[in-house]
Structure 1
Amino acid sequence: MDEKNYKEYLQHISTFIFDVDGVLTDGTVQVTDTGGLLRRMSVKDGYALKTAIDMGFNICIITGGTNEGVKMRLEGLGIKDIFLGAHHKIDQLNEYLTTHHIKSENVLYMGDDLPDFPVMQLIGLPCCPQDAVPEIKNISKYVSHKNGGYGAVRDVIEQVLKVQGKWHKNFDAKYD
């Protein structure tokens, strides 16, 4: 992967789309006594998502999962476009892009496994966490140095916002 190549896309990104399991989480679940599934999300990723929303970026979640707790967490960050139970992610991608009049070349999509493959072939900047499956790494223009659930989402959001001069533009530089 050519680092210069992916950095050329950052200036044009207006929209972030993320998978959940393996991207916003570490891809594992804990099963409770009653059969409930628990996931772990990074607050650093959450902070970056909220910051991107505050800076006017579009954020969309497209996941095969159906966990209402995950949906509540993401809504709490201000994310309005959440597609749960998406087993053919291209349908939700096309619906989202059409509804919001977004060009695919202005989209950064982060996925980690084979269900993300078809969508990642259609957008401008396909990305993945360090621990994504090889097929996804092979089509990604950027592979984060962070694993899913451990800051990969923050990594890509922060890079885009910094390139566009929107990462804490009012934040004192000594804390950067």
Structure 2
Amino acid sequence: MKSQLKILVFFMFLVITGVVFPYYTRWLFGTEVDVMTDKIKFWYAISPETAPLEKVAFPYENIRAAVFVKYDGNQLTSGIVFNLYPPIPGGVVSREESDEGIPFETRIRWDNQEPVKVKFFQPVLSKMILFDRKITIEIVNKLMKHNTLIVELDWLLWGVKHFKFSLDGSKDAISQVLRKIKK
């Protein structure tokens, strides 16, 4: 009885803290289906989850992220999805008010190459950040070509954090998404 209570408390903790995030070791291909129409809303490829390389203070100590590529029948997008709403980014490149989100610039690194600056966009009230649409095709091609991606995020109040993503299996999973564009 006591062990069952401990298990129940543990699962309640996972649900309340948002720690529940799919665990896998290679990139996956999948679809999101509209429950009401049974029609596919989008196709996606997603990396295994990763934690930041540095410790993060409360309430983000359990934050995890995954890189994704998505095609909704009209537009190809790529970005990073988090299990929690991420903090506000530093490096904001536009001070203009936007109802859509926050554009910001940060560094990324492919394998052992030199870091490069790229633009991201964080939609309002979203658990994801998106690569700038102008570089989506370039990013998708690099995701398929390289072995690792490190993303540096300068979060206001939480400081600079790095996420290192495995790209093992990305070529196969992303290729399945790209085949949907050609149909």
TM-score range, shorter chain: under 0.3
Higher percent of residues as strand: 2
Q: Which TM-score applies when normalising by structure 1?
A: 0.27
The answer to which structure has the higher helix fraction is 1
Q: Which has the higher contact order (CA 8 A, sep 6+)?
A: 1
With normalisation by structure 2, the TM-score equals 0.26
| Greater Rg by CA | 2
